[in-house]
A = this chain, B = another copy of it.
Amino acid sequence: MSLIVQKYGGTSVADVEHLKNVARKVAEWKKKTDHLVVVLSAMAGETNVLLRLAHEACDNPDEREMDMLLSSGERVTIPLLAMILKSRGIKAISLTGRQSGIFTDGMHTRARIKTIKTDSIKKYLDDDYVVVVAGFQGYSEENDAVTTLGRGGSDTTAVALAVALGADRCEIYTDVDGVYTTDPRVVPSARRLHHVSYEEMLEMSGLGAKVLQIRSVEFAAKFGMPILVKSSFQDGPGTWVKAEDAHMEKVLVASVVYDKAQAKLTIAGVPDSPGIAAKIFGAIAGNGINVDMIIQNISVHGLTDISLTVPTADAKKTLDRLEAVKEEINAREVLTDGNIGKVSVVGVGMRSHPGVAAKMFSMLADAGISLQMISTSEIKISCIINEEDVDRAVRMLHEGFELGKE
């Protein structure tokens, strides 16, 4: 028995006309597979509309109520798709997160799936229904309340359901036709990858590639569920995200990723004594601030500078925290620089091929681009550079590592 879980999101569920297009694809797929589960997100833009209503309502919306509000979005798309399918003679039923058996912890707006009770979905699948599931949402039994899985959570719904149901694969239909060697808007010769490994996809999602929610990739990696990323609008082979195999290891660098929505903060003139870093990072921890890179300059006359990068959205909050701790640690000043960007190369091949970092640095140096901060993992190298150099750096690295060639 074949079973596929498909997820349609973004503009592919933007309105009724697009949902009819999804229904056509689903009808085709139902002929090719025994069982089909379809996960939908809210209509494109709807989540932003609901967020705006909440922020009109009050300054710090209660998170339980926020989840009740946000979860209404998928309750519009799922019945619409189910009724279109039914009107075309295909047995279909829409299920909310709770009705699909997706139970989470009680962390509203960023809940994690605890368990999936598949009885109900399985019953409908056995009865030959296409099951249309609301993505992004679950239910906390402890709170007796609906929860949401965070931005892009529908990807995680789809992968988690695929794992729980033992699906053959999880297909993610989106606005792009796969995962690219880099952003085609910056580098026209960017090439769609046939496959990337879970590790590469994790790095790429973490570095700013918006194809998949990072948690969905973690889930897929943990359980070895193959993901196929495809376009909602055109046919094509898409990109497989799956376990690393022999073929992949031949590739040195799979992708160049960039992120301009970064800010650098520097605490200058910090007395270089033990425990200072702990005080600084203690002050900003636990506030949902996502510190990315950290660098500490060599101490001169007992004073040092500590720089860190955060997403632009967290810059103001981070600055407030650092200003608050400045007095306490007797630092001179706090500086902010929003004019930076991060460019990274990712590839599992780096594990067995040293020298990628050196090659990257020399390419950037030859182009006169100076590096402000560097961070590496086993399979990626990231550099912080001036924002205005980012596009040029991406183009050069893409060409230098010959990513445009098969």
Contact = CB atoms under 8 A, between A and B. Distances in A.
Given A54-B83, A80-B54, A144 B60 contact: no
Nearest to A55: B16
Interface string A93-106: 11010010000000
Interface string A50-61: 100110111111
Given A75-B75, A144-B99, A57 B80 contact: yes
Nearest to A99: B144
Contacts of A87: 57-62
A69 B60 CA distance: 28
B72 A58 contact: no
A20 interface: yes
Interface in A72-123: 72-73, 75-76, 78-80, 82-84, 86-87, 93-94, 96, 99, 120
Contacts of A20: 57
B65 A82 contact: yes
A75 B72 contact: yes
Contacts of A67: 79
A68 interface: yes
A276 interface: no
A354 B58 CA distance: 59
Interface of A: 16, 19-20, 50, 53-54, 56-62, 64-69, 71-73, 75-76, 78-80, 82-84, 86-87, 93-94, 96, 99, 120, 144-145
